[in-house]
Structure 1
């Protein structure tokens, strides 16, 4: 029996990939081509970047360079989060050719919280809920047209969710 590098039978992987394509097509998501969906599913996991303690180190590990602040990246996050376990954040941008969006919480034990690969033709809007250890800057990095753009906002995490 042929196996893949993760030990699963090759036939199982093909069946799961095919089922995913059929599901997306059935849901009416026609902007994704099967090739783009399969390429996104096989993207390499940035393990080293997720292990970095500082935001600058995580950005360098993930992208290899620093980002420039941009008013074209809109970060929506609360000024005060009463529950650090579920801090809602979202990002949208008017930039074109967006290929990835990353979320970082500068004071978390591991700064990088999430990385999204954006397939061509997809609206570059992402929402997430971060778990934040304490008050810190939330940083969003948008990769577009081969350049990096960022937006930052401080989110105050209150103790015990009492708003004080």
Structure 2
């Protein structure tokens, strides 16, 4: 029995396709869901907190308590953002035992913008570019030593980012 060129070509294609699939599966590319990876790290993805309209509700769902203002939380954000679609915001802190940092914007359609888990031994500093619908307070929450600390700054937006 002999194999024609067309039969060999189809067989080669199937072997290469199968090998590629196995390689991607080995790398974890196929079926990768960041929410499952987050849950696998002994934490649950805070989906409901990201759906909240008010910052108070988002913080309550995310942490279950309120934060106190602290001068140990340093937020860097512009006073005026010429484009609300890309507003640079960063936070750093001198607090020890920081376990998470969250960014909120009170006048956005959804208040919680980002939430970061900070692994032990990591420098507690995060920078992000956020979207802002309009002039609003930007709030940063830092969880350290089982307590919540915050910093707030008003950022004036001249061109809307979230639907404006």
TM-score by length of 2: 0.74
Q: Give 1:16 shift.
A: 2.7
**Distance 1:160-1:68 versus aligned 2 partners, 3 A rule:** closer
SS state of the match for residue 62, structure 1?
A: helix
Flag structure 1 segments of 5+ consecutive residues without an equivalent: 1-10, 18-37
Separation in 2, partners of 1:40, 1:54: 25
Separation in 2, partners of 1:51, 1:124: 26
Q: Give 1:44 shift.
A: 1.6
Please tell me whether residue 120 in structure 1 is matched to residue 120 in structure 2. yes
Q: Does the CA-based 8 Å contact 1:87-1:131 persist in structure 2? A: yes
Q: Give 1:159 shift.
A: 3.1
1:55-134 pair list within 5 angstroms: 55-134=55-134
SS state of the match for residue 159, structure 1?
A: coil
Q: Does the CA-based 8 Å contact 2:132-2:160 persist in structure 1? A: no
Flag structure 2 segments of 5+ consecutive residues without an equivalent: 1-23, 30-36
Please tell me whether residue 16 in structure 1 is matched to residue 16 in structure 2. no
User: Pairwise CA RMSD of aligned residues?
Assistant: 2.4
